Structure 1
Amino acid sequence: MLLSYVALMVMLAIAVNGNGQNQWMGPRYYWPDWENEEECSVLCGSGLRPQIQRATCYKRLTCYPEYMPSPHRRNVTCNTQPCGDTCPPGVDQFLPHPTNTHRFYQCAFERAVLHHCPAPLVWGQDLGRCAWTWEV
């Protein structure tokens, strides 16, 4: 009886391989759709957007962190439309971010490139620089 129990435990231990698959049940996780990890690196003029895809368990009770694969990462092109009047040729200027006061765009070479103010500073459009909140 004890020998049968030990044999069963050994078979179950062998059944799970290093990629989280059980030989009898198949993979314990799946790869859902890609998620945007950050916004596009430009407002216009063609940039990159980092994306991430994390493995997700089919059954939470059967997933073990040591068998979960590392996330997949990729960059996709975004905001490929020309800047036109937003960043005209030969004009270097700054533009405020429409929703985040800690970010701004810098127009250069007909592209509006995203920049971040260091915490806790915010973008001061009239000052043309990152500043303390009481300055803007």
Structure 2
Amino acid sequence: MRQRRGKRRGEGQGPRERRAGGLRRRLGLRDLLAAIGIEEDQELVAAKGAAEAKPKVSRGDRFAQGLAALAQFVGRERRSRVTRPHKEPVEAVEAGPGGEEQVVVSQFALGTWLNNQKARRAKLAAGQLAQLAEHGVEWV
């Protein structure tokens, strides 16, 4: 049986080189479409960029969101032990299309958040630990 010489496509390349190759192919397709008169819809490109952009949330705000979700959970369940996969439904008021306010229900990964707080409890401020203790969360 003859051995193959040379590399197969993608073999011997790291992920960075493979991604760059895919980007070059996409750019080539974009140039080809432009050459035959098909242009990108700028409104669609802007809408896609806006949909992909996530608002930055500070650590303090994220902690406050987690604390609010924990308070809601403890108020309903009367316990502070949360399983890791638990997601707590949280309501938020956001500005909708046309400027009117609308209530949006999102799922807050409370179990994951609480597990992360436990993992980084040495880095939490004393006030944050006290707030968690108010809701019955204490780690030994």
Higher strand share: 1
TM-score bracket for the superposition, by shorter chain length: under 0.3
TM value normalised by structure 2 = 0.25
TM value normalised by structure 1 = 0.25
Higher helix share: 2
